[in-house]
Amino acid sequence: MSSGRRLYLDGVSVVFDGFRALNNLSLIVEPGELRSVIGPNGAGKTTMMDVITGKTRPTAGTVNFGDIDLTRMDEAAIANLGIGRKFQKPTVFDALTVFENMELALKAPRGPLACLRWALTGEAKSRIEQALEETGLQERAEDLAGILSHGQRQWLEIGMLLMQDPELLLVDEPVAGMTDAETEHTAALLVRIAGKRSVVVVEHDLEFVRALGRRVTVLHEGSVLSEGSIDHVQNDQRVIEVYLGR
Ligand code: ADP
């Protein structure tokens, strides 16, 4: 298990023009944990991610990462603490190879001079190789990102985020549009990269969440409706009503 920091949302509310997108949401993600967050459209999943990364300020409540209060910090400062986010749409460079995309992700935060002048040391190379292995892209290292499949592009972007060695990785709907085989690969990949770091995955594909096999939080109307194993939440009458009772 990781000795890292725990994420703690305590009574977080977000109100947009009188509408409560988050309503007294409390959530703890332990260091090294892989947590799935599910919920119907409009449940507040994206808003929760926005609050953790500082994109949206809570109207009430606090967000803590270890003993650091993130509640009033800006996005850049939060990212610098080691909190990375993967959005649904990948932002890889099609005209560069998979390896070059990883290299850029490693150097770019150090500025343009690092990109131009900084020769890859053995250590940097081995970090890229490790990320290629973790994401299952070793065989594609020399291929242009532009010819990758949809799934491979998503894995490449996860690999690029790993270049910053995040302590907490937030992943938005990673398997939307993937084939079954790609979905399976993605579940194994996320299980592999958690442990050393915490991972929070927002998804509405229940089968994918089952494949992850870890603790699940169900959001509904901006707060936690149910939490526990996938079997526990799938058998929870309140969850059944929200998913099937409409
Ligand atoms: P989810 O990701 O679970 O689908 P969201 O967090 O995107 O849910 O949205 C929760 C609710 O908040 C939705 O009803 C949405 O319309 C509303 N909402 C989200 N962002 C804004 C905003 N910037 N202004 C007004 N309402 C918003």
Residue nearest to atom 7 of ligand 1 (CA): 46
Determine, yes or no, domain membership for 2.
no
Q: Is residue 205 part of a domain?
A: yes
Distance of CA 79 to the CA centre of its chain: 13
CB 34 within 8 A of CB 230: no
Tokens 């894995």 correspond to what residue? 155
Q: Is the CB of 39 inside a 6 Å radius of any atom of ligand 1?
A: yes
Q: What is the pTM of this model?
A: 0.92
For tokens 């209060």, name the residue. Answer: 69
**Residue with more model confidence, 109 or 156:** 156
8 A C-beta contact, residue 37 and residue 48: yes
53 lines ligand 1 (CB under 6 A): no
Q: Name the more confident of 86 and 153.
A: 153
Residue 1 lies in a domain: no
Range of the domain at 89: 7-244
Contact 176, 156 (CB under 8 A): no
Of ligand 1's listed atoms, the one at least distance from the Cα of 219 is: 3
pLDDT tens sequence across 109-148: 777 787 777 777 888 899 999 999 999 999 999 999 999 9
When divided into structural domains, the chain yields a total of 1
| 246 pLDDT more than 60 | no
Question: CATH no. for residue 85?
Answer: 3.40.50.300
Indicate if ligand 1 lies below 6 Å from the C-beta of 45: yes
Q: What are 224's strand-pairing partners?
A: 219
Domain membership of residue 216 (yes or no) is yes
Q: On the CB side of 182, how many CA atoms lie within 13 Å of its CA?
A: 15
Task: Give yes or no for residue 14 CB within 6 A of ligand 1.
Answer: no
Give the pLDDT confidence score for residue 245 in this predicted structure: 62
Whether 49 lines ligand 1, by a CB cut-off of 6 Å, is no
Helices (H), the chain: 45-52, 75-80, 98-107, 112-117, 122-135, 150-162, 180-193, 206-212, 230-234, 237-244
> Residue of the nearest CA to atom 6 in ligand 1?
44
Would the pLDDT of 216 be above 70? yes
User: Who has greater pLDDT, 70 or 241?
Assistant: 70
In a domain, 88, yes or no: yes
Residue 223 pLDDT grade (very low, low, confident, very high; cuts 50, 70, 90): very high
How many whole angstroms separate alpha carbon 241 and alpha carbon 208? 21
| The most confident of 22-31, 198-207, 209-218, by mean pLDDT | 22-31
Residue 37: inside a domain, yes or no? yes
19 lines ligand 1 (CB under 6 A): yes
ipTM of this complex prediction, to 2 decimal places: 0.94
Question: What span, in angstroms and rounded, lies between the C-alpha atoms of 246 and 240?
Answer: 10
Q: What is the pLDDT of residue 2?
A: 53
CA distance 105 to 185: 22
Kindly give, in sequence order, each residue whose CB lies less than 8 Å from that of residue 27, ignoring residues fewer than 6 positions away: 7, 8, 9, 48, 217, 224
Q: Which residue type, as a one-letter code, is found at position 156?
A: L
Mean pLDDT confidence for 26-33: 97
Asked if 202 contacts 45 with a C-beta cutoff of 8 angstroms, the reply is yes
Dig out the tokens for 14 from the structure.
Answer: 């977000």
Residue of higher predicted confidence among 245 and 49 = 49
What is the tens place of the pLDDT at every residue in 66-110? 999 999 999 999 999 999 998 777 789 999 999 999 999 998 877
